[in-house]
Amino acid sequence: MSNHLPRTLMNLFTSLTQAILSLVIVYILALYMRHREILKEEHSLTLARIVTELCLPAVVFVNLAGNNIEIKHLQPAFVMLGAELFCIALAWAVGTALRLTKGETGAVVFCSAFGSSTFLGYAIIMQLYPDTPQAMTEAVLISEVGVGYPIFILGPMLAAYFGSSGVTVRDNLKSSLRFFKSPVFFALILGLIWQPLGLPDGENAFIKPFFEVCAILSQALTPLAIIAVGLMFKIPNLRQCVITLGVVIAIKLFLKPLMLSSVSDIMGFEKLWKDVLVLLGAMPPAVLGVVFLRRYGGNASLASALLLAATVLSCVSILGVFWFAG
């Protein structure tokens, strides 16, 4: 190990602690507002829609529009995509083998496969690599192609299957195709073609207000998403939570990032690509997974509890994985 690695781990620990404490505080505030009836559980769907329709597209666009994207930069993103699909299948198989209920299996699948690469990952990458814009560009590509595509395309189908009964195959397909009509999809396309078309950057007098609005919406993404998830929280059955949390920790917090590290070495990725890929792979469960389960009648309360517990535990697991993989 180089002398640089302990220093990097210390920076990572500091970033993780600050980011996770901030998320937990906002989560607690959401519970407090629900207790005081300032906000109610049904408001979580409205907040979730604001996140997906405004904040997330702003994050995607503003981080892609200022950089030239080459085809080779998509390789780590496709590796992440493969890992997502593998973890979906593995978590589903484990849930079936353990004879979990349909709702429990759905919570395990979402929390084991989809990571918080946007809400928590971006913050950590920006703090670890403040002077390396390529790191954030790669993080956005990995997040949107490797995580965004499967969660927006497969998410509604999986949530519908594990949620309410009576949902037809046609409804599932229609829900999954909504991604290609969503603001996130158009923000992704616009961000990718912005520089190749020679369009003005954020310093242009006419375009600058648009980029500033995107920056403001980007900052609102995390608190709004965490409040939405906090409003869904219910104390789960202890036995139910211990078994499912064990599966999520094994697959999401350890197996997935270590698998990504091995694949990165096999494919000969440069150090920066590997670090970003492993860090994003080690992120705790994605907030949007809970939102989808809530929308389609799945066990969102269990998923919310798993998300909170795994997020706190990830402060330790990410350090261990990053040290081992580094």
Contact between 93 and 256 (Cβ < 8 Å): no
Structural domains in the chain (count): 1
Give the number of other Cβ atoms within 10 Å of residue 5's Cβ.
12
- Where in the sequence is the domain holding 64, given as residue range(s)? 4-325
For residue 228, give the nearest of 119, 125, 147 by alpha carbon. 119
Q: What does each C-alpha distance from 225 to 35, 220, 261 come to in angstroms?
A: 18, 9, 29
Residue appearing with tokens 């648009």: 210
Mark out the alpha helices in the chain (DSSP H runs). 4-35, 43-50, 56-64, 75-97, 102-113, 122-128, 133-141, 149-162, 169-177, 183-194, 208-230, 238-248, 256-267, 271-281, 287-295, 300-325
Distance of CA 220 to the CA centre of its chain: 16
Model pTM above 0.85: no
CATH of the domain at 54: 1.20.1530.20
- pLDDT higher than threshold 80 for residue 29: yes
In this structure, of 30-34, 67-71, 94-98, the range with the lowest mean pLDDT score is 67-71
Q: At what angle do helices 75-97 and 149-162 cross, to 10 degrees?
A: 20
Q: Return the structure tokens found at 224.
A: 């709004």
- pLDDT higher than threshold 90 for residue 289: no
Distance of CA 139 to the CA centre of its chain: 11
Q: Return the structure tokens found at 228.
A: 């939405």
- pLDDT higher than threshold 80 for residue 8: no
- pLDDT higher than threshold 70 for residue 139: yes
Q: What is the pLDDT of residues 214-259, one digit of tens each?
A: 889 888 877 887 888 788 777 666 666 889 999 999 999 999 999 9
Average pLDDT over the chain, rounded to an integer: 82
In this structure, of 42-51, 75-84, 115-124, 289-298, the range with the lowest mean pLDDT score is 115-124
- pLDDT higher than threshold 70 for residue 66: no
